[in-house]
Structure 1
Amino acid sequence: MATENPARTADGERALRRMRYYTTFSGCILAGGAAGLAALGNLSPITLIGTLISGALATWFAAHWERRPPVALTAATLLLSFANWLATLVLFESPMNAVPLAVTITLLVSQARHLLRAAAAGLLLMLPPVGVAAAVAPSLNWSDHVLMAVVTYGIWLVGFLLNRYVWNLTVEIDAARRASADLAIAQERYRFAADLHDIQGHTLHVTQLKLKLARRLLDKDPDGARVQLEEAQELIAETLANTRSLAFGDRTVSFASELANAEALFSAAGIDCSVIPDHADSPDDELFGLVMREATTNILRHSQARSVTVSVTPTRLTVTNDGASGPPGSLSGLARLANRFQAAGGVLRTFSNDGTFVTEAEKR
């Protein structure tokens, strides 16, 4: 029975961890590098030191892109980066000092539930101080500061949103891979259960038939009863071997052996069986063998057949029996086989008419 490959699962988890490390590392490098470049453009030691410290905090803050940052770190980074931006405006220093504040605000915005409202609120934190500075010192040209605040804010917001989108896509792909693996396991378990049902269900029905025959023959034909008991014992031993083969994945079904077994069973049940032996080996030989086995079990179990006709060609198998008591009930075994034939590009159908039941399998 299939189980999820531990090596494949470990590979998927390692790939997810690598993606997380890469995303975190690249965001921190970009934040730290941008803050460092911004600090180089300062002439005042106050804004130089302030940009370096707030940039370091923003870099640490960027490492929490995937989850909510600690409250203390959030408060410290926001306050210091905002104070540094105010000092920049007061001293008319490099507009690049907006980088630490932009990194901090846009990362918080990217984690917000209402993105548009949060984005507008974040932009309002950056622009009003420039407006106040322009009102206080109208003679200075504040266009570079306004432009840098808007552009830096937009670039980092788009960057964090793209970063989060790519990460979410990676997580969805990993979830789809896991779901696909779980589905494959479920399908394999279903196939195993179906094959086990076919093997043991067939044996139980045939063994029941032979034991009934042996009981009827016990008084008037002890030797015949002994033969039926021996055949039932052999059938049980064969089924145990087939069950072991199924468990270890080396079970094969031969159409020829299933046909010969069906003829013997029909003969033992007093059912006349005629075969049109035009069958040649084909890639679908095992599927035809499974259909022959299931059809035989259904005839012995559900009908009062007196005669059975089996017609076989390299691409088609038809099993016709009389004694059908009415429309068939739930033939789950044939229904499962119909799905397998359909997957192989063929068709398996059943129909009844005037007491005759037909099972027809065809591979186009």
Structure 2
Amino acid sequence: MTHLFPNYKRESIDLVKGFGNYVEDQTGKEYLDFTSGIGVNSLGHQHPKLIQALEKQMHLIWHTSNLYSSKLQEDVAKKLANNKNYLAFFCNSGTEANEAAIKLARKATGRSKIISFQQSFHGRTYGALSATGQEALHEGFAPILPDFQYVPYNEIEPLKEIVDQDTAAVMLELIQGEGGVQPADVSWVQQVAALCKEQGALLVVDEIQTGIGRTGNLYAYEGYGIEPDIFTLAKALGNGFPVGAMLGKKELKDAFGPGSHGTTFGGNKLALRVAVAVLDIINSPDFLNKVKQKGDYALKSLGSLKDSSDKVVDVRGQGLMIGVQLKDQDTLNATVANLQKKGLLVLKAGNNTLRLLPPLTIEQDELEKGIGMIKVELLGK
């Protein structure tokens, strides 16, 4: 008997312990973790500097409301701005960050239309769900919010046809994670940014999964030669401690005055103390270069499967966000199940894509071990 709603399709294993880049289930079986809790535990499990930061804050104060000033919030906001012209709003999750982005875009522009992309994913609360371009996720929840429209990803002409003076924002992921690990073309993103500027619409970049070092840059947008008007963060920002953030250009500040938006727990001191430690570790040239190097190795090594395995259609991604597109959903399901039995945890994306999100701290020998297991499985040996 369960006391939980069946809204998740759960595996029978219960992960009760984590250490480094491995996890352990209720039976004591160990798994190499290529999921990072869906892109959350980017510094692995039980990182000593994160434990130290959390323990220190636990003995000071856990929570204060946003009625009072917070030096800690200011410190994290400055780190997230990363020497650019951004202000931060703190919340608790990715969907909340995207809700804040939608509200800010509409209020700052005085417009209502939000354009996003087919197969996008921005969250499951009503505003974020309405921005998500997947009809299957809307099913049963109609009517979704008005004035949301969807166009094909990586195509500029359909977007040009609907961006106009009523458009508050264009909202996109630079790599569609849930949609199958689909990277955006650089030239397309730059055209989208130019089109937004031309029409007075805001460019909102959802960095929930791509941000905080996942692609080898602190933010994925840094690799596209753009600066979004608004971008959103969560997942890896707290390495498992719930925290999210919405960042917007300083010129948007008057749209988010007192009473315009808020949250009880946003900017919680425990969460932000961990975020400080996360950012201090990840936002360094040496760390990010190593992510790029490991990502390049993984993409090259897995890329050979396109020629050697009849199960593999494509391999794509950036940094340590990698998708291996398989020939069909049955192959994907069998691959994920078989790898789990052998001690490697991986993810699904879209209908047929094996998604790999190992901790950014993954050691080279662990990366080679995991990729080797995937190759054996997909080569049928």
What is the TM-score with the length of structure 1 in the denominator?
0.22
Which structure's relative contact order is higher, taking Cα pairs within 8 Å and 6+ residues apart?
A: 2
Q: Give the TM-score, by structure 2 length.
A: 0.21
Give the number of the structure whose alpha-carbon radius of gyration is greater.
1
